[in-house]
Structure 1
Amino acid sequence: MLSQRTIEVIKSTVPVLEIHGTAITTRFYNMLFTAHPELLDIFNHANQKQGKQQAALANAVYAAALHIDRLEMILPVVKQIAHKHRSLGVQAEHYPIVGQHLLAAIKDVLGDAASEEILQAWGEAYGVIADAFIGIEADMYEQAKTQAGGWAGFKPFRIIQKVKESDVITSFYMTPLDGGALAAFEPGQYISVNVHIPGEEHAQIRQYSLSDASDKPYYRISVKREDAIVDRPAGKVSVYLHEQKEVGDILSISAPAGDFTLDQRDSRPVVLISGGVGLTPMVSMLNTLAIAKPARQVTFIHAAHNGRLHALKQQVETVAQQNSNLSFHWCYEKPTEQDLTEPAFHKQGYIDLNWLQTVVPVKEASYYFCGPVPFMKAIHDALLEWGIPAEDLHYEFFGPAGSL
C-alpha cells in the first residue's frame, strides 16, 4: 500500500504529466533502447517511429497518477495492456529495467522540478503498479501454457492456405507444425506473429486479430498490406507477409490474447460495426454467433472505400443467407460503378447516426466496433448522441491503446 504522503506527491504531478508526459516517454524510450537494444526485439518499431507508443505510455502514466488513490479504476487498462505484454513475451525481469529508465527520463525532462521526494514517490508507485502487472501476467502465461492445446512463448505454425480477400487484404490459414491441437480462443482475440525479415537487425512482432470462429481446425488472420503513403512508411511485416510468405512456409505465433471479446452470455441483439481491416475481429464474432447463438439478432455493418477493398464480403453474405436473424449493410465512401449495381450496397459516403437509426432494428443492443481511429471516434460519438449507454459500447484499437 502507498502512504498518504506518496499519494499526495503523485497527485501533485498530474498537471506536469498532462503537459510533459509525451516528452518524458519519448526520452524514456530513447534511453531504454540505447541501454538495452535487445528489447527492440519486443517493441513494435512502426509504433515507435509514429509516436503511437510514446503517446500511449504517456496516457497510461497520466492515468496512473490521476487515479493513484484508486488504482482499481485503471485495472481494466492494466489487464488490456497485460494481454499485449503476454502476447509479446514481456517478462518480470523487464520491469525493473523499465522503472529505472522511466525515473531517469522524468528527471532528465523535468530537471530540478523533479525533486528527490517526487522521484522517490514515483519509484514507490511504479513498484506497486509493476507488481500488479507481473502478477496478472504470470496468471496469463500460466493459463496460455496449461490450457488445452496451449503453449508458452512463440510456436511454429505452417501456412496451409493463402487467400487474397481484396486488393489490399490477404488471409493466412495456419496449423501447428507439430500437428498438435489448437488452443481455443474468444472471438475478438488476436495472436502475435514474430518474424525475422532478411536484412533487419531485430525481430519484428505484429498482432493480428483472428478472423474466424474458434471451432475451425486452423487459425486465420487477414492482413492488410500497408504500403507507403505520404506521411507513413510501408508496413515491414505486412508487406513481408504478402510478398514473401507462401503456403508451406512457417510463422512463429503466440497463443491467442486480448480482452476485446464478444460477451456470449448476453442474449440481447448485437450490432457489429467495422471500417476497413477492422472487420477481422467482427467476422470472428459473427461466425461464432452463427454457430453458437443462431437465435441472437445480429446486425453487421461495414464501411470500406469501395467493393475492391472490401474483404470477406462473400463470407458474411453466405452466413446471412443461412441465418434469418442476421442482416448486413455495406457503406462505401467512393463506390465503383459495379458497386452501385450490387443489391447489398446500401449507402454512399460515411456511416452517420441518421443512417444507423434506419438500419439498426433494435436500439437496445450491445455494440462492437473497430477500424481506423477517426472512424471509431465518429461511431463512438454517434452512438453516445443516440443515447446508447457507454457500458454497451465495446471497441478495439489496432496498436497501442488510445482514447476516443
Structure 2
Amino acid sequence: MTNEQKALITATVPVLKENGVLLTKHFYNRMFTHNPELKNMFNMGNQQSGRQQTALAMAVLAYAENIANPSVLIPVVDRIGQKHVSLDIRPEHYIIVGKHLIASIQEVLGDAATPEIVAAWTVAYNQLAGLMAGHETNLYEQQTHKTNGWTGWRPFKVGKKTPESAEITSFYLYPADGGKVAPHQPGQFISIRLFLPQLNLKQARQYSVSSTPGHEYYRISVKREKGANLDTNGMISNQLHDFINENDVVDLTAPAGNFTLAPDIDAPVTLISGGVGITPLLSMLNSLVENDYTHPITWLHGCRDQSVHAFRNQLNDIVKTKDNVKQHVFYNQVTDENREAGVLEGYLDISKVPSLNLQPNAHYFICGPSAFIQKQYHDLVGAGVNKQHIYFEEFGPQLLSLN
C-alpha cells in the first residue's frame, strides 16, 4: 500500500465508528443474496442476533485504525484464524467476501466512496485477506502434521450419550472410519455440523472438548437451550439432545482455538467458570491432575442450582483426593444441604471467598457468558492480578476486548 492509500484508510475510521455495523449488515445481506450457498457455512444464529455483524465491524475498524502497522493485530488474526480453520474456510472464500465487501462500501457510502477510497480499500482488503489466508494455511499444515491429524469435515459416530446435569449432556464422538483422533490441547473446541430441517441448511457450531487429550474420542458436553425463539445455536444444541443418539453420525473438524494451557505452565492456576463454561476448564483441570501438577489449583464455579451443576461429583472427588486442588461453588438458589457443604449463595464473586489467595502472577482462566467474563476479569484486575495472566474464552463471535 502507498502512504496515500494508508492515509485514505485512516480517514475512513470516523465513518466506520459511526456506520460500521450498518456496513456489515448490508455486506452480509448482499453476500447471502448473491451467494446463498454460503448460508451453510456461516452461523445464521449469529446473523440473527447481530453478533456476527458487530464482530466484523469491530474487526474492520481495528484493521483501519492499525493500517500503518497491521502486525499488532496478529493475536486477533490468530483468534479469528482458529475459528476459520474450524469452519473449513479456505482462500477462495476470501475472494467472494472481498467482492461483496468492496461493493458494499460503494453502496453504503455512496458519493463519499470516491474511486481513490475504493481503490485504497481494495488494496487494504487484499492485504488483509493475504495475511489471514497465509496464517490459516499454516494452521491447516499444523493440523495435518499432528499425529492422526486431518483438515476439513470428517464423519464421527456417537459412541455414548451421557447426562451430566438437568441441562447438560455429554456426547462421546469416535471417528466413523475406526481410526484415531489427534490429541487436543486442553481448552480447545471442535466444530460439529448438522442439517437443520427448520432452516433447510447445514449449520456448524463450536463446542469445547470437555475430555482430556487422547487418541480414541472427543467428548463435548452440550447444554439444552430453552425458549420459544431459539437461534441457530440453540437449535443445534437441542437437535443434539433430541435427535442425535448413539451410533448416529455427525461431521466434525479437528480441534482448534488458542484458549489453552501452555505446555510449560509453571505457576498456580485458577479456573473460573459460569454455567456451561465449565467444559473447557474441566479438560484443563483433569489434564493438570493426570500430569500430577504440583502447584496450587483453585476452581471457582457458579450456576443456578445443584440440578444444573454438571460434573459436580467428579469435581468433588478430585478435591477430596488432591491436596493441591481447592474448590469454591456459588449457586443462585441454595438449600440447607448446599450450605452445609460450603456452597455460597448468589452470583460468583471472588470478594466473597475470604480464603482465596489471588497471586498476581498466577494464571487465571475464565469461561462463561460475556457479562460473567467481564465481571470476573475486572474483579481480578482490581485485586491486583497481572492482566497478561488472565485468559478468557467467549462463546460465539469475539466481542470482548479486555486485555
The bucket for the TM-score relative to the shorter chain is over 0.9
The one-character-per-residue Cα deviations of 1:258-294 (angstroms, maximum 9, x if unpaired) are: 0111113121101000101111000010011111242
Are the counterparts in 1 of residues 174 and 216 from structure 2 also a CA contact under 8 Å? yes
Paired-residue identity, %:
40
What is the aligned counterpart of 1:352 among 340, 346, 349?
349
Task: Check 1:131–1:263 CA distance in 2 against 1; reply closer, same or farther (3 A cut).
Answer: same
Cα distance, 1:212 vs. partner?
Answer: 1.4
Partners of 2:37 and 2:50 lie apart in 1 by 20
State the AA in 2 paired with 1:288: S
Matched, 1:134 2:133: yes
State the AA in 1 paired with 2:347: Y
Partners of 2:292 and 2:9 lie apart in 1 by 47
Matched, 1:401 2:398: yes
Partners of 2:357 and 2:342 lie apart in 1 by 15
1:3-402 matches, within 5 Å, as 3-198=2-197, 200-215=199-214, 217-228=216-227, 235-341=234-340, 343-345=341-343, 347-356=344-353, 358-360=355-357, 362-402=359-399
The one-character-per-residue Cα deviations of 1:194-243 (angstroms, maximum 9, x if unpaired) are: 11134542101010000011036321000011122579688110110000
Cα distance, 1:335 vs. partner?
Answer: 2.2
Partners of 2:10 and 2:269 lie apart in 1 by 40
Are the counterparts in 2 of residues 269 and 296 from structure 1 also a CA contact under 8 Å? yes
Are the counterparts in 1 of residues 183 and 215 from structure 2 also a CA contact under 8 Å? no
Cα distance, 1:340 vs. partner?
Answer: 3.2
The secondary structure found in structure 1 opposite 2:144 is helix
Are the counterparts in 1 of residues 43 and 205 from structure 2 also a CA contact under 8 Å? yes
Partners of 1:261 and 1:400 lie apart in 2 by 18
The one-character-per-residue Cα deviations of 1:309-334 (angstroms, maximum 9, x if unpaired) are: 11111122222223211111101122
State the AA in 2 paired with 1:215: G
State the AA in 1 paired with 2:381: L
Cα distance, 1:338 vs. partner?
Answer: 4.4
Partners of 1:233 and 1:190 lie apart in 2 by 18
Partners of 1:94 and 1:34 lie apart in 2 by 15
Partners of 2:215 and 2:228 lie apart in 1 by 36
Q: How many residues align?
A: 401
The one-character-per-residue Cα deviations of 1:73-117 (angstroms, maximum 9, x if unpaired) are: 111111111111111011110111101111111222221122211
Are the counterparts in 1 of residues 358 and 383 from structure 2 also a CA contact under 8 Å? no
Partners of 1:77 and 1:335 lie apart in 2 by 40
In structure 1, the gaps of 5 or more residues are none
Task: Check 1:199–1:56 CA distance in 2 against 1; reply closer, same or farther (3 A cut).
Answer: closer
Are the counterparts in 2 of residues 294 and 323 from structure 1 also a CA contact under 8 Å? no
State the AA in 1 paired with 2:361: E
The secondary structure found in structure 2 opposite 1:303 is strand
Task: Check 1:336–1:24 CA distance in 2 against 1; reply closer, same or farther (3 A cut).
Answer: farther
Are the counterparts in 2 of residues 162 and 172 from structure 1 also a CA contact under 8 Å? yes
Q: TM-score, normalised by structure 1?
A: 0.95
State the AA in 2 paired with 1:391: Q
Partners of 2:292 and 2:2 lie apart in 1 by 49
Say which is worse superposed, 266-275 or 353-362, in terms of deviation: 353-362
Cα distance, 1:160 vs. partner?
Answer: 1.2
Are the counterparts in 2 of residues 195 and 204 from structure 1 also a CA contact under 8 Å? yes
Say which is worse superposed, 352-361 or 129-138, in terms of deviation: 352-361
Partners of 1:159 and 1:337 lie apart in 2 by 39
Cα distance, 1:178 vs. partner?
Answer: 1.4
Partners of 1:326 and 1:216 lie apart in 2 by 27
Say which is worse superposed, 315-324 or 261-270, in terms of deviation: 315-324
The secondary structure found in structure 2 opposite 1:213 is coil
Task: Check 1:293–1:13 CA distance in 2 against 1; reply closer, same or farther (3 A cut).
Answer: farther
In structure 2, the gaps of 5 or more residues are none
Task: Check 1:82–1:40 CA distance in 2 against 1; reply closer, same or farther (3 A cut).
Answer: same
Q: CA RMSD in A?
A: 1.7
Partners of 1:59 and 1:334 lie apart in 2 by 37
Cα distance, 1:353 vs. partner?
Answer: 4.1
Partners of 2:229 and 2:254 lie apart in 1 by 35
Partners of 1:199 and 1:366 lie apart in 2 by 43
The secondary structure found in structure 2 opposite 1:196 is strand
Are the counterparts in 1 of residues 182 and 214 from structure 2 also a CA contact under 8 Å? no
The secondary structure found in structure 2 opposite 1:302 is strand
State the AA in 2 paired with 1:98: V
Cα distance, 1:14 vs. partner?
Answer: 0.9
The one-character-per-residue Cα deviations of 1:118-147 (angstroms, maximum 9, x if unpaired) are: 111111011111001111111111221232
The secondary structure found in structure 2 opposite 1:360 is coil
